[in-house]
Amino acid sequence: MWKSKTRLSDDQINALEAHLAGTLKPVTPPNEVVQRLRERIRFPQPDEIVSRLRDWERMFFVFGGVMSGMLVLITVARALYYLVGRKHM
């Protein structure tokens, strides 16, 4: 049957495809696996958390944001203190 080394007859193609279709069938992942996967993707993996902590650029922006926020709060507090203080004078 295997006469040509580089060509396949239609019969051979059909037979091979039938075997492949019979072997490579879609499977259903077990329900518990799907459930576990669903739970796993809700939270970042520990290595993901570590990589986030190593993200210096993000850390810099977070730190900058916190400092700016504190500065705004202090300025507002000082302004209020000044205005309230003037009323009492």
Partner 1 sequence: MPELEFNEEDVLTRASKGDRDAFGLLYERYIDRIFNYVYYRTGNLHDAEDLTARVFQRAMNHIQNYTDRGVPFSAWLYRIAHNLVANWHRDRSRRQEIPINDVPVLPSKGDHPERNLVRSQEQDSLLRLIRRLPGERQNLLILKFVENMSNAEIGAIMGRSEGAVKSLYHRTLLALRDQLGDQSINLDNE
Binding of partner 1 by 19 (CB under 8 A): yes
Binding of partner 1 by 26 (CB under 8 A): yes
**Pair 1, 12: CB distance under 8 Å:** yes
Binding of partner 1 by 89 (CB under 8 A): no
Distance CA 58, CA 86 (A): 42
- Residue 69 beta carbon to partner 1: minimum distance, rounded to whole angstroms: 22
Q: Which tokens belong to 57?
A: 């650029």
Q: Which tokens belong to 86?
A: 């003037």
Binding mask 46-65 for partner 1 (x = CB under 8 A): --x-----------------
